[in-house]
């Protein structure tokens, strides 16, 4: 038998087995497990620094705000 990756709470929410955060929708838990939970793989890497992200949108925001470029300028 396959073990569920979530626990159904008494109020009908879906709770993550890894960190116990709970979500109203199962799809939100699925996104959490894939991109946010500690077990998520950080596969989106910045070309200018060593930062890695679980979601492409976070990498794009990092690049748009030029966080890594600002950090590199302050170290010079």
- Interatomic CA distance for residues 41 and 63, integer angstroms: 19
Please give the distance of CA 31 from its chain centroid, rounded to a whole number.
Answer: 8
User: Tell me: the pLDDT tens digits for 12-28?
Assistant: 899 888 787 899 999 99
pTM of structure: 0.52
pLDDT digit string, tens, across residues 32-68: 887 777 666 778 888 888 888 888 888 899 888 877 7
**Cα–Cα distance between 43 and 13 in angstroms, integer?**
29
């Amino acid at each position: 038998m396959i073990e569920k990756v979530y626990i159904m709470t008494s109020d009908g929410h879906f709770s993550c087995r890894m960190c116990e955060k709970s979500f109203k929708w199962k799809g939100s838990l699925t996104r959490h497990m894939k991109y946010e939970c500690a077990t998520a793989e950080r596969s989106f890497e910045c070309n200018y620094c060593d930062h890695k992200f679980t979601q492409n949108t976070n990498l794009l925001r990092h690049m748009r705000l030029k966080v890594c470029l600002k950090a590199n300028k302050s170290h010079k």
